Structure 1
Amino acid sequence: MSEKKQKKRRKKIAFALHAPQAETVLLAGDFNQWNPEKHVLKKSRNGAWETRLMLSPDTYEYKFVVDGKWQMDPVNPRICQNCFGTANNLLTVAE
């Protein structure tokens, strides 16, 4: 198989969380081996924390880490159960 066929085209995906009182907001998911230190969100003037990632087409699980506490994405209703007895958000990046 050629290299072009194996490599799916990545897309820029925005993640945002409105948390004006937060000191830090991090993003963890299976796209970064659940390491929140890899993706630190930046705070905008309106209190929203934002980042953008380049992701290949697939379905990903993720959560935010707000001031050290794991938190669901309140604007994403797509969830799945995880091995800890809680839930993660789901994000599907289309081809």
Structure 2
Amino acid sequence: MSKTAKKSEPREWTASTEFSCDAPHAGVVYLAGTFNDWDPTAAPLTRRADGTWAISLNLPPGRYEYKFVVDGEWCCETAHQGCPKCVPNSFGTMNRVVEVPA
């Protein structure tokens, strides 16, 4: 009797990627980006004791653009004009970029 190796489905590896935002006076902060179709309420951050907000997402390897939504307002649009990890978007503002390694 011969044994046949069962082919498994290819796995997409994911990496825990942390995002944080310094918004000590905010009531609520969300993360929106290419990983969640820019849904401004899909990923709520948790407030830390020091006033920063954070969330960890398991993302497959790749390049992602994102923004924080602070109290309903897309933030950090012009503050990061010189940021090496930011890129201009089609609205004339900036998106942050994160690269998740393979």
- TM-score after normalising by structure 2: 0.82
- 1:77–1:89 Cα contact (<8 Å) kept: no
Q: Which runs of 5+ in 2 are unaligned?
A: 1-6
Q: How does 1:62-81 map to 2 (within 5 A)?
A: 62-72=66-76, 77-81=84-88
Secondary structure of the residue aligned to 1:37 is coil
CA offset at residue 85 of structure 1? 1.1
Q: Which runs of 5+ in 1 are unaligned?
A: none
After superposing on structure 2, the runs of 4+ consecutive aligned residues of structure 1 that deviate more than 3 Å are: 73-77
CA distance in 2, matches of 1:59, 1:81: 15
- 1:87 alignment counterpart: 94
Q: Could you tell me which amino acid in structure 1 is paired with residue 98 of structure 2?
A: L
RMSD (CA atoms): 2.1
Larger Rg, first or second structure (1 or 2): 2
Name the one with the larger helix percent. 1
Q: Could you tell me which amino acid in structure 1 is paired with residue 93 of structure 2?
A: T
